Structures are given as C-alpha cells and as structure tokens.
Chains A and B, each alone.
Chain A
C-alpha cells in the first residue's frame, strides 16, 4: 500500500491538458496531407500511390478534376513522396472532425498539357482550416463542462486499431472523464454511439439494433477512415463501407487510427451538437 502511494506521489500529474494546451507531437508525427493545388504539376502519381483511393482523378475534354477525400485518408504519406515541387506536404494537423461528410472532400480542376500533366489550375476548394491545435475547441470548452456525456462504443467491423486509441482516452494521460464523459456498457444508457467500421455484413443487424436501443436524442460519431468511408476495405461482398451507409452520422473523425486528441476533438465537437439539438444551448 505504501509503495502504491509513494509511486503515485512520485509520478504526480500524468494528465495532458488538451485541448487547453496543444499536445507535444513528435517532430516526425504525420497528420493529414496538405495540398498546394497551384503548385501540383501532376496528381496522377499521388492517386496511383494512394492505398485507399482518397486521391482520385477524372479526366475529360482536356480537363482534370482531382478530388481529395480526408474521409478515406490514412495519413500514410505516399502522396507526398509521389508529388513534385512540395505540392503535397504531410502536416501535423489532426483536428479534422466535421459534422458534414462533404466538408472532408476537396476538389481542384486543371487544364491539361499533352503529356497529361497540369497546365493551369482553374478552380480549387480550400484546404482544412489549420489552427493551433485545440484552439477552436478550447474557446468553447468552459461552456460544455457542465454536461456529462455517456458513450457506447460500437465496433462494427474495425481492425481494432481505432479501439486501441479509444481505450487510450481512459488512461491517465488523456483521461476523458475530466470532461464528465464516460463509456457505458449498454446503448440504453448512452447519449452517443462512437462507431468504428467498416460496417461488415455480419455486423449490420447488430449496429441497427444498437442504434435502435439508444434513447433519443442520440448522436452518432463515425470514427476513422473505415468508419467514415470503409477506408482501405471500401465496399465489397462482406463490407458495406462507412457507418452512414447503415445509420445516420452526426460527426466524422478522420484518421487511421485518429489519435486520442483527435477523438477528443471530435467528441467535444459532437457534444456541442448534442446541446444544440437538446435546445438548451446553441453555438
């Protein structure tokens, strides 16, 4: 007993203060890729290298449309290696959760040279808003602390990668309970379903039943590239793709897997939405 207390005193506080304080990321950490569309001379090698089809090109009439889908991206960095001029750079950005699926998709249109490389950038949507990690949420956090949130996690077919990082939310470093958020054993006790994917054919019914068992108002968060889009598995004879192919989704958290702070960011984003829906608070 003495040893336990002694150890606890020696360790002191282990908890990181995200989102108030940005996490200490290793210099090598890979967040999402960022695209300088004007400097991108050819998107084809990156599209070819991308393991999940997050970068896609479609050519017609001497023009090319390039789409970049952060909902499929696994942050592997292959597009950076395949692109010249520093047009694609891996950033350290991980706060990517959104409430609308299409906000994860960027597009750019180019005219083409005869060799198929880009001649001129005609139009492009802007990249994800890059802020100091945690800033956006930190401003809203004071308001949110008054409410507790119960989460039921549902693995609808994942590889268990996302689950590892979700479990890490309960360790003393990330300690999600400091926000009054805790994981519960039954969907009947839950305000939120935190769902990983891809949704397999063998889990579809269980996911529907879990959703039906969760009392209203409820919020669904799709976690990871596979939970958002099916990821590298996509849709096939055994996989139905992302969570929103089966139940309605309120918040999407990209990553493979999303790091604990990215999960926290998405959950806190959703928490704002819960209050919005409940009518007691609006942001």
Chain B
C-alpha cells in the first residue's frame, strides 16, 4: 500500500490532507474539500478501481461539516480505500460523478434526499428515495427526530418519461405486483411486443432503517440488520456484526468464524435453489420448481436444526454466534447435505434435458459485460456478465481465507447464464460447507460481551447470495451507533435490469426479473 500512498500524495498534494489506516485493510484518505472528481478519475483509470458505494454522514454538530465517503475496490488488493470528502455546512453541495459514472446515480440522489446535500451537475437530480409527495425534509440529518410525523400525500405525482409514436404505448405495473413479491413500480414503454425502455421507481418499502440504526442500542440493531432484506438475514446480520467487531476490535473466536461460513453458505444454497426453480417456473417448467421447492425445504430444515429458525434469524451476534452446536448437529449437516446435493443434481439433469427451457433462457435478457462493468453490477448478475468479483475471494472475511473454491464467471450475460452461475455456486457451497464441517475447531462460539468504544469507524463486506453487501458504522456513546450505512447488492443491480430487458418481449420480463432476483427492501431500506 505504501507506494500507492506516496504516489497519491505526490499527484494530489493540494487535495489530500491525510492518509491513515485506522482498521487493517481499510485506508482512509481525508480530502481537503468536496470535489473528488480528479482523484476518482485517477482511481478508475490508473488503478482500474471500482467505486463500490458513495454515502454521506452528518457531522455538523461534532465537526462542523458533512462528509461524503467514496469506497473504492482495487483489483488484486485486499485493502479498501475510502475517500473522505468534507462538505461545508454553509455550502451543502458536492460535484456529482453520475454523468461519467452511472453506477452512483441513485446513491448520489439518496444523499440529496436524506441529507439535503446537492449533487451539483447530476443529470437527473429528481428525488429517488423520498417520493414526490413528501414534504421538504431530510431524515438523516441529526436534528430530524426519528418519529417525526409527516403530513400525508401532498405534492405532485411522479412523472414518467413519455414515449411517442405509432403503436407505442405504456404498460404500468405495480407497486402491488401479480405474484408474491415485493412492491415497486415498472413503467414499460413498448412498441407492440418488444420493450423500448423500462423505467423503475423504487423505495416503496423505505422504512427509515438507517435512521433507526442511530436510535437503538447495538444489541438490538443486530436484529434490525437481519430485517434489511429478509432473504439475506444472516448475510446482512453478519455484515453488521463484522463492522461493529472491527470498529471495536473484538476478536471473533475461530469456531464462530467457521460456523458463520457454514451458515452463510446455507443461505446461499437455499436461495439459489429457490431461484433455479423459479426461473424454470417462469418459462412454464412447473415440475422443476416443485422439486426445487422440495429440496429447499430440506435446507430450511437444516437451518432450523442449526439455528432454531428456518431462515437463520436470531443466530449471529456481536462477537460470534448466539448458540453453539453439539456434535450430533454438526454430523447432521453432512448427512442432509449429501441428500440435498444428490437431489439438486437430479434437478439440474432434468433442467438440462429440456430443450424448450434452454431455448427460452438462452439469449433472453442479455446484460453485456461492458454495460455490467459500467453500471457497477455485482454478485450473481455480474459474474454472469463477465464481472469477476467475489468478496469471499477478494477481501476474505471469517474463515474464507483458509478455503479454496472457484468463482464461476461467464460472458454471455443472459438468463441461462445467471441460472448457470447459481447452479455452479450451489456445488461450490456444498464443498465449502463440507470443508468447514471437517475443519470446525473446538472452542468458544462467542467472544465475551464488552462495551463498544465510541467514535470508531469501520466497514465490512460480505458476499451475500445475491452479491456484495457493505455495512459501514461509526460507533457512538452508550453502546449505540452514530451512523450505519447499508449497501445491498440490489442497489447496484437494478439499473442493469433496465439494460437487460431492452428489445425483449414483455412476456419475458418476469423471467428476466427473476433471473436477477433483486431485493426491494434491501434497496429501499
């Protein structure tokens, strides 16, 4: 890292105030002002770095400024780099990067909505997280009380970009959808069957999560983290605990690290199997979905046996896991896993033998690799479109540094390959769990409880089954948090659906959407 620091200092002597590494592998570069454009360009072009997320913090009361944080990931380097850009309270504005970096489009607008900081020069500065009928409030400002009651439904209706032309019309869908899925609004502009373009409107499930994190003690906040995105309860819970553990320098016992790995992989397997079935279902291959549902129940039964909860809730805790396992439980993992593996293999054979299914999935909903990397797409959807990222391998956490596994990456970017990534990953996860079970160390499952020191910052990243989850915390007085930023992989990936559906027929939208299977709640928080 040292040559990088020197080069940066030399290159940007005016802009860089200090560089330090308060937490191992988390380098913070404090800037002298709000403009990160030049340094960000340098990171992107010189280091081929990726801008993971951008978020703000209200430090006006404590330090007289706001901060914007820009998190960069450089290929081949396990250290994260965070640019920390102060924004003066009397001139709450920062230059937008969205025009050259579409990946930050929504996240910069979130900052506008939640903090009232202007993203100057943003090509589409409309509200995103607070809908048009909200009064002029900025809920993540420190002087905005959590329980503020806001007047309901005044203001204008959201306007969608119109489409003109003979035979061109709009199909509005949502927020209440036809299936058992989360709410969001999709506005399709179509010319006959093919989709011209899709406009998304999200944040219907915005429930004040990041604000709530600042208002409850950390031991309760773990459960809030489990409710960020219910299908990723264990991944988000673990990401949150890790961030706090790093900030407070709590060492997680080795046994707990391996237990977390097993549970993270079980969450991946359960969701991937469900998605493989659901994708088949959306092209009419119902029997495949029935088998997937049946196999998934076996995994959920295993979850229940290991954690007391079918969906792995109430298990992860600060310092480790809440409940230890008896030897009989550990042995039951192996026997059930063998059945799951065999049954899933049979399902894959049935799927692969169906030519009609293959024809529906192949070349449907293509996300081209160049679009995927431009949009900062992560996780399953990224790996199906040539984005070779996996936090477990690139920034290993828990016991992943001791494990070897392969990361499937394809270039085709169609529905079939998003399914294929999942099928490959189930096989990898089974091997990871087997290895973890055989190497599960004895010892404590949780570090003793200890007070969390105030004013410490740390981030954590976890490869959830959907992709990269990032939590960033600043601890506060009395075992509370000053700030908790949550980045679900879905916020990176939603705009990719817009690209993937273009030119496809409306009838293929459900299967394209399902092949991404993004979280609305994780996006909206």
Residues in A lying within 8 Å of B, measured CB to CB: 3-4, 7-8, 11, 14, 25-30, 49, 51-52, 74-78, 90, 153-168, 170-173, 183, 185-187, 198, 200-206, 210, 226, 231-233, 235-239, 256-257, 259
Contacts and interface: CB of A to CB of B under 8 A. Distances in A.
Interface stretch (B71-79, B302-310, B455-463): B302-310
B311 A257 contact: yes
21 contacts: A28-B329, A76-B223, A76-B314, A154-B176, A155-B176, A155-B183, A160-B182, A167-B274, A168-B297, A173-B297, A201-B134, A203-B175, A203-B204, A210-B176, A236-B208, A236-B212, A237-B137, A237-B139, A237-B150, A237-B211, A238-B211
Contact of A238 (B139, B179, B308, B329): B139
Interface in B393-448: none
B227 A185 contact: no
A159 B290 contact: no
A78 B220 CA distance: 10
B308 A30 contact: yes
A170 B425 CA distance: 25
Contacts of B203: 202
Interface stretch (B90-98, B189-197, B228-236, B256-264): B228-236
A123 to B, nearest CB: 29
A158 B521 contact: yes
A160 B314 contact: no
Summarize B's interface: helix, strand, loop or mixed: loop
Given A155-B183, A202-B131, A237-B147, A162 B230 contact: yes
Contacts of B387: none
B453 interface: no
B147 A26 contact: no
Contacts of A26: 301, 304-305, 308
A243 to B, nearest CB: 14
Interface in B136-158: 137, 139, 144-150, 152-153
Interface of B: 131, 134, 137, 139, 144-150, 152-153, 175-176, 178-183, 203-209, 211-212, 216, 219-220, 222-224, 227-231, 233, 274, 287, 290-291, 293-294, 296-297, 300-301, 304-311, 313-314, 322-323, 329, 346, 349-350, 353, 519-521, 524
Contacts of B139: 237-238
A-B pairs with lowest CB-CB distance, top 5: A161-B230, A171-B293, A185-B178, A238-B208, A159-B230
Contacts, number: 196
B222 to A, nearest CB: 8
B308 A51 contact: no
Contact of B152 (A3, A187, A201, A232): A201
Contacts of A204: 152-153
Contacts of A239: 207-208
B178 A186 contact: yes
A232 B205 contact: no
B353 A3 contact: yes
Nearest to B306: A28
B313 A74 contact: yes
B290 A183 contact: no
Contacts of B329: 28
A221 to B, nearest CB: 14
A234 to B, nearest CB: 8
Given A236-B212, A239-B208, A256 B313 contact: yes
Given A172-B293, A236-B211, 14 more contacts: A51-B222, A74-B313, A75-B313, A75-B314, A76-B223, A77-B322, A173-B293, A201-B152, A202-B203, A203-B204, A205-B153, A232-B224, A237-B146, A238-B207
A203 B521 CA distance: 12
Contacts of A200: 204-207
B219 A49 contact: yes
B475 to A, nearest CB: 18
Contact of A30 (B228, B300, B309): B309
A155 B182 CA distance: 6
Nearest to A15: B294
Contacts of A210: 176
A210 B84 CA distance: 45
B180 A163 contact: yes
A220 to B, nearest CB: 14
Contacts of B176: 154-155, 187, 206, 210
B182 A163 contact: yes
Contact of B227 (A155, A170, A233): A233
A79 B305 CA distance: 21
Nearest to B310: A259
Contacts of A78: 314
B413 to A, nearest CB: 25
A74 B139 CA distance: 27
Contacts of B297: 168, 171, 173
A206 B183 contact: yes
B18 to A, nearest CB: 36
A256 B237 CA distance: 15
Given A28-B304, A163-B181, A202-B203, A231 B227 contact: yes
Nearest to A156: B183
B208 A77 contact: no
B349 A237 contact: no
A22 B400 CA distance: 39
A159 B228 contact: yes
A172 B150 CA distance: 45
B230 A74 contact: no
Contact of B208 (A90, A159, A170, A233): A233
Nearest to A203: B204
A168 to B, nearest CB: 7
Nearest to B281: A170
A236 B293 contact: no
A28 B304 CA distance: 7
Nearest to B349: A3
A27 B211 CA distance: 37
Contacts of B293: 168, 170-173
Contacts of B183: 155-157, 203, 206
B205 A155 contact: yes
B294 A155 contact: no
B175 A161 contact: no
Contacts of A186: 178
Given A7-B291, A29-B308, A185-B179, A160 B519 contact: yes
A162 B205 CA distance: 14
Nearest to B302: A26
Nearest to B216: A51
A42 to B, nearest CB: 18
Contact of A236 (B175, B207, B274, B350): B207
A168 B309 CA distance: 15
